Structure 1
Amino acid sequence: MGGYISKTVNENMKSNQELMVEINRITIERQIQMQNQMRERMVALQIARTRELLNWFGTFYTVAAAGMLTGFQRSRKPGVLVPLLPLTFILGYQIDMAYGNKLKRIKHEAENIIKFESELLDLPMHLPTLSTIDMARQVQHDKLIMHSAEPPLYY
Protein backbone atom coordinates (compact mmCIF):
# COMPACT_ATOMS: atom_id res chain seq x y z
CA MET A 1 0.00 0.00 0.00
CA GLY A 2 1.89 2.97 -1.31
CA GLY A 3 5.24 1.23 -0.99
CA TYR A 4 6.37 1.87 -4.56
CA ILE A 5 5.25 5.51 -4.55
CA SER A 6 6.78 6.34 -1.17
CA LYS A 7 9.99 4.56 -2.21
CA THR A 8 10.20 6.71 -5.36
CA VAL A 9 9.40 9.87 -3.41
CA ASN A 10 12.07 9.04 -0.84
CA GLU A 11 14.64 8.39 -3.58
CA ASN A 12 13.76 11.67 -5.31
CA MET A 13 13.90 13.55 -2.02
CA LYS A 14 17.28 12.04 -1.21
CA SER A 15 18.70 12.90 -4.64
CA ASN A 16 17.28 16.44 -4.36
CA GLN A 17 18.88 16.87 -0.94
CA GLU A 18 22.23 15.68 -2.29
CA LEU A 19 21.89 18.09 -5.20
CA MET A 20 21.04 20.98 -2.86
CA VAL A 21 24.03 20.18 -0.65
CA GLU A 22 26.31 20.15 -3.69
CA ILE A 23 24.86 23.41 -5.02
CA ASN A 24 25.30 25.06 -1.60
CA ARG A 25 28.88 23.79 -1.37
CA ILE A 26 29.73 25.18 -4.82
CA THR A 27 28.04 28.51 -3.99
CA ILE A 28 29.98 28.87 -0.75
CA GLU A 29 33.26 27.98 -2.45
CA ARG A 30 32.57 30.60 -5.13
CA GLN A 31 31.78 33.22 -2.50
CA ILE A 32 34.99 32.42 -0.63
CA GLN A 33 36.98 32.64 -3.86
CA MET A 34 35.33 35.93 -4.84
CA GLN A 35 35.96 37.46 -1.42
CA ASN A 36 39.58 36.35 -1.55
CA GLN A 37 40.08 37.90 -4.99
CA MET A 38 38.56 41.17 -3.79
CA ARG A 39 40.81 41.09 -0.72
CA GLU A 40 43.86 40.46 -2.92
CA ARG A 41 42.99 43.45 -5.07
CA MET A 42 42.55 45.69 -2.04
CA VAL A 43 45.86 44.53 -0.58
CA ALA A 44 47.59 45.11 -3.91
CA LEU A 45 46.20 48.63 -4.09
CA GLN A 46 47.34 49.29 -0.53
CA ILE A 47 50.85 48.04 -1.30
CA ALA A 48 50.98 50.23 -4.41
CA ARG A 49 49.85 53.28 -2.43
CA THR A 50 52.40 52.58 0.27
CA ARG A 51 55.19 52.28 -2.27
CA GLU A 52 54.20 55.56 -3.86
CA LEU A 53 54.03 57.34 -0.52
CA LEU A 54 57.36 55.87 0.49
CA ASN A 55 59.00 57.13 -2.72
CA TRP A 56 57.61 60.62 -2.33
CA PHE A 57 57.31 61.04 1.39
CA GLY A 58 57.62 64.76 1.85
CA THR A 59 55.82 66.15 4.85
CA PHE A 60 59.10 66.49 6.71
CA TYR A 61 60.58 68.57 3.90
CA THR A 62 57.76 71.12 4.02
CA VAL A 63 58.40 71.86 7.66
CA ALA A 64 62.16 71.80 7.09
CA ALA A 65 61.89 74.28 4.19
CA ALA A 66 60.33 76.91 6.40
CA GLY A 67 63.16 76.44 8.88
CA MET A 68 65.80 76.59 6.14
CA LEU A 69 64.39 79.77 4.64
CA THR A 70 64.36 81.39 8.05
CA GLY A 71 67.92 80.22 8.64
CA PHE A 72 69.04 81.59 5.25
CA GLN A 73 67.49 85.00 5.96
CA ARG A 74 69.38 85.22 9.23
CA SER A 75 72.76 83.78 8.19
CA ARG A 76 72.88 84.51 4.41
CA LYS A 77 74.76 81.23 3.87
CA PRO A 78 73.61 79.48 0.66
CA GLY A 79 74.48 76.06 2.10
CA VAL A 80 71.40 76.32 4.29
CA LEU A 81 69.20 76.11 1.15
CA VAL A 82 70.77 72.89 -0.22
CA PRO A 83 68.13 70.66 1.40
CA LEU A 84 65.46 72.49 -0.63
CA LEU A 85 66.31 70.16 -3.51
CA PRO A 86 64.00 67.44 -2.18
CA LEU A 87 61.17 69.99 -2.12
CA THR A 88 61.45 70.13 -5.89
CA PHE A 89 60.56 66.44 -5.98
CA ILE A 90 57.56 67.04 -3.75
CA LEU A 91 56.35 69.80 -6.05
CA GLY A 92 56.83 67.49 -9.02
CA TYR A 93 54.85 64.78 -7.27
CA GLN A 94 51.96 67.14 -6.55
CA ILE A 95 51.88 68.41 -10.14
CA ASP A 96 52.00 64.84 -11.44
CA MET A 97 49.15 63.84 -9.13
CA ALA A 98 47.03 66.84 -10.12
CA TYR A 99 47.72 67.01 -13.87
CA GLY A 100 49.62 63.85 -14.80
CA ASN A 101 48.80 60.17 -14.84
CA LYS A 102 49.97 59.24 -11.32
CA LEU A 103 46.79 57.33 -10.43
CA LYS A 104 47.05 55.32 -13.65
CA ARG A 105 50.60 54.32 -12.71
CA ILE A 106 49.49 53.37 -9.19
CA LYS A 107 46.77 51.15 -10.68
CA HIS A 108 49.31 49.64 -13.07
CA GLU A 109 51.64 48.90 -10.14
CA ALA A 110 48.77 47.18 -8.30
CA GLU A 111 48.09 45.05 -11.38
CA ASN A 112 51.78 44.13 -11.56
CA ILE A 113 51.70 43.10 -7.91
CA ILE A 114 48.73 40.83 -8.61
CA LYS A 115 50.40 39.33 -11.70
CA PHE A 116 54.04 39.02 -10.68
CA GLU A 117 54.17 39.25 -6.87
CA SER A 118 51.02 37.37 -5.89
CA GLU A 119 52.86 35.66 -3.03
CA LEU A 120 52.60 38.97 -1.16
CA LEU A 121 48.83 38.62 -1.26
CA ASP A 122 48.61 35.08 0.17
CA LEU A 123 46.74 34.55 3.39
CA PRO A 124 48.61 33.01 6.29
CA MET A 125 47.74 29.29 6.39
CA HIS A 126 46.23 29.61 2.87
CA LEU A 127 42.62 30.07 1.79
CA PRO A 128 40.04 28.55 4.17
CA THR A 129 38.01 25.68 2.78
CA LEU A 130 34.50 24.65 3.64
CA SER A 131 35.80 21.73 5.70
CA THR A 132 38.15 23.93 7.78
CA ILE A 133 35.31 26.39 8.42
CA ASP A 134 33.00 23.55 9.50
CA MET A 135 35.73 22.07 11.69
CA ALA A 136 36.29 25.43 13.40
CA ARG A 137 32.55 25.80 13.95
CA GLN A 138 32.38 22.32 15.46
CA VAL A 139 35.32 23.03 17.80
CA GLN A 140 33.68 26.28 18.90
CA HIS A 141 30.37 24.50 19.43
CA ASP A 142 32.06 21.74 21.45
CA LYS A 143 33.80 24.32 23.65
CA LEU A 144 30.49 26.07 24.20
CA ILE A 145 28.84 22.82 25.27
CA MET A 146 31.73 21.83 27.54
CA HIS A 147 31.92 25.21 29.28
CA SER A 148 28.24 25.96 29.74
CA ALA A 149 26.04 24.79 32.60
CA GLU A 150 23.25 23.79 30.26
CA PRO A 151 23.57 22.82 26.61
CA PRO A 152 22.40 25.28 23.98
CA LEU A 153 19.03 24.81 22.32
CA TYR A 154 20.45 24.93 18.81
CA TYR A 155 22.91 22.96 16.76
Structure 2
Amino acid sequence: MGLGMSRMMDENLKKQQEFMLLTQRLQLERQLAMQNLMRERQMAMQLATARQTFTYFSAFFVITTLGLAAGSIRRKQARLLVPVIPLAFVLAYQYDFAYGRLIQRARHEAESILDSNVELVAMPGGVPGFDELEKARRAQNKLAVLSLDVQR
Protein backbone atom coordinates (compact mmCIF):
# COMPACT_ATOMS: atom_id res chain seq x y z
CA MET A 1 0.00 0.00 0.00
CA GLY A 2 2.75 2.44 0.97
CA LEU A 3 4.81 1.57 -2.13
CA GLY A 4 1.89 2.28 -4.47
CA MET A 5 1.19 5.56 -2.73
CA SER A 6 4.84 6.56 -3.04
CA ARG A 7 4.87 5.81 -6.78
CA MET A 8 1.67 7.79 -7.26
CA MET A 9 3.14 10.74 -5.36
CA ASP A 10 6.34 10.55 -7.43
CA GLU A 11 4.28 10.53 -10.64
CA ASN A 12 2.21 13.46 -9.45
CA LEU A 13 5.38 15.35 -8.49
CA LYS A 14 6.88 14.72 -11.94
CA LYS A 15 3.67 15.84 -13.64
CA GLN A 16 3.59 18.94 -11.46
CA GLN A 17 7.22 19.75 -12.28
CA GLU A 18 6.58 19.27 -16.01
CA PHE A 19 3.51 21.51 -15.78
CA MET A 20 5.49 24.19 -13.93
CA LEU A 21 8.28 24.01 -16.52
CA LEU A 22 5.76 24.30 -19.34
CA THR A 23 4.07 27.24 -17.61
CA GLN A 24 7.38 29.02 -17.04
CA ARG A 25 8.37 28.47 -20.67
CA LEU A 26 5.03 29.83 -21.89
CA GLN A 27 5.36 32.86 -19.60
CA LEU A 28 8.90 33.55 -20.86
CA GLU A 29 7.77 33.23 -24.49
CA ARG A 30 4.94 35.69 -23.83
CA GLN A 31 7.30 38.15 -22.14
CA LEU A 32 9.72 37.95 -25.06
CA ALA A 33 6.86 38.47 -27.53
CA MET A 34 5.59 41.45 -25.53
CA GLN A 35 9.08 43.01 -25.34
CA ASN A 36 9.51 42.59 -29.08
CA LEU A 37 6.11 44.15 -29.78
CA MET A 38 6.95 47.09 -27.52
CA ARG A 39 10.33 47.52 -29.25
CA GLU A 40 8.65 47.47 -32.66
CA ARG A 41 6.10 50.06 -31.55
CA GLN A 42 8.80 52.32 -30.13
CA MET A 43 10.79 52.07 -33.36
CA ALA A 44 7.66 52.82 -35.40
CA MET A 45 7.01 55.87 -33.22
CA GLN A 46 10.59 57.10 -33.65
CA LEU A 47 10.35 56.62 -37.41
CA ALA A 48 7.02 58.46 -37.57
CA THR A 49 8.51 61.30 -35.52
CA ALA A 50 11.54 61.43 -37.82
CA ARG A 51 9.24 61.67 -40.83
CA GLN A 52 7.33 64.55 -39.25
CA THR A 53 10.59 66.30 -38.39
CA PHE A 54 11.76 65.83 -41.97
CA THR A 55 8.56 67.42 -43.27
CA TYR A 56 8.99 70.52 -41.11
CA PHE A 57 12.71 70.78 -41.77
CA SER A 58 12.11 70.44 -45.53
CA ALA A 59 9.78 73.42 -45.43
CA PHE A 60 12.35 75.38 -43.41
CA PHE A 61 15.10 74.40 -45.88
CA VAL A 62 13.08 75.47 -48.92
CA ILE A 63 12.07 78.83 -47.41
CA THR A 64 15.62 79.51 -46.18
CA THR A 65 17.17 78.56 -49.52
CA LEU A 66 14.73 80.75 -51.46
CA GLY A 67 15.37 83.66 -49.09
CA LEU A 68 19.13 83.28 -49.29
CA ALA A 69 18.98 82.94 -53.08
CA ALA A 70 16.86 86.09 -53.36
CA GLY A 71 19.24 87.97 -51.06
CA SER A 72 22.21 86.68 -53.00
CA ILE A 73 20.74 87.85 -56.31
CA ARG A 74 19.67 91.22 -54.91
CA ARG A 75 23.04 91.95 -53.27
CA LYS A 76 25.05 90.12 -55.91
CA GLN A 77 26.94 88.18 -53.21
CA ALA A 78 27.25 84.42 -53.73
CA ARG A 79 28.58 83.92 -50.19
CA LEU A 80 25.03 84.33 -48.87
CA LEU A 81 24.35 80.84 -50.25
CA VAL A 82 27.04 79.20 -48.06
CA PRO A 83 24.59 78.29 -45.22
CA VAL A 84 22.65 76.17 -47.70
CA ILE A 85 25.48 73.61 -47.81
CA PRO A 86 25.35 72.43 -44.15
CA LEU A 87 21.55 72.68 -44.19
CA ALA A 88 21.53 70.39 -47.23
CA PHE A 89 23.63 67.82 -45.32
CA VAL A 90 21.22 67.93 -42.38
CA LEU A 91 18.26 67.57 -44.74
CA ALA A 92 19.90 64.61 -46.50
CA TYR A 93 20.57 62.90 -43.15
CA GLN A 94 17.00 63.40 -42.00
CA TYR A 95 15.67 62.06 -45.31
CA ASP A 96 17.93 59.02 -45.06
CA PHE A 97 16.73 58.34 -41.51
CA ALA A 98 13.05 58.91 -42.22
CA TYR A 99 12.68 57.37 -45.69
CA GLY A 100 16.03 55.93 -46.66
CA ARG A 101 18.07 52.96 -45.58
CA LEU A 102 19.91 54.45 -42.58
CA ILE A 103 18.18 52.14 -40.11
CA GLN A 104 18.99 49.07 -42.21
CA ARG A 105 22.65 50.09 -42.50
CA ALA A 106 22.81 50.76 -38.75
CA ARG A 107 21.24 47.34 -38.02
CA HIS A 108 23.76 45.66 -40.33
CA GLU A 109 26.63 47.48 -38.60
CA ALA A 110 25.26 46.48 -35.17
CA GLU A 111 25.13 42.83 -36.25
CA SER A 112 28.70 43.11 -37.51
CA ILE A 113 29.82 44.53 -34.17
CA LEU A 114 28.07 41.72 -32.29
CA ASP A 115 29.69 39.14 -34.58
CA SER A 116 33.25 40.46 -34.53
CA ASN A 117 33.71 42.92 -31.64
CA VAL A 118 31.56 41.69 -28.74
CA GLU A 119 34.06 43.07 -26.22
CA LEU A 120 33.08 46.59 -27.30
CA VAL A 121 29.54 46.16 -26.01
CA ALA A 122 30.28 44.02 -22.94
CA MET A 123 29.19 45.48 -19.62
CA PRO A 124 32.03 46.70 -17.42
CA GLY A 125 32.41 44.26 -14.56
CA GLY A 126 30.22 41.70 -16.33
CA VAL A 127 26.53 41.03 -15.91
CA PRO A 128 25.43 41.62 -12.30
CA GLY A 129 24.56 38.44 -10.42
CA PHE A 130 22.00 37.75 -7.73
CA ASP A 131 24.41 38.37 -4.84
CA GLU A 132 25.46 41.74 -6.27
CA LEU A 133 21.84 42.78 -6.77
CA GLU A 134 20.91 41.77 -3.23
CA LYS A 135 23.87 43.69 -1.83
CA ALA A 136 22.81 46.83 -3.75
CA ARG A 137 19.17 46.37 -2.68
CA ARG A 138 20.13 46.08 0.98
CA ALA A 139 22.38 49.14 0.74
CA GLN A 140 19.53 51.09 -0.87
CA ASN A 141 17.13 50.02 1.89
CA LYS A 142 19.62 51.14 4.56
CA LEU A 143 19.90 54.55 2.85
CA ALA A 144 16.11 54.86 2.72
CA VAL A 145 15.82 54.07 6.44
CA LEU A 146 18.58 56.56 7.27
CA SER A 147 16.91 59.33 5.25
CA LEU A 148 13.60 58.65 7.02
CA ASP A 149 15.37 58.94 10.40
CA VAL A 150 16.97 62.24 9.37
CA GLN A 151 13.62 63.67 8.23
CA ARG A 152 11.98 62.93 11.57
TM-score by length of 2: 0.44
More helix by share: 2
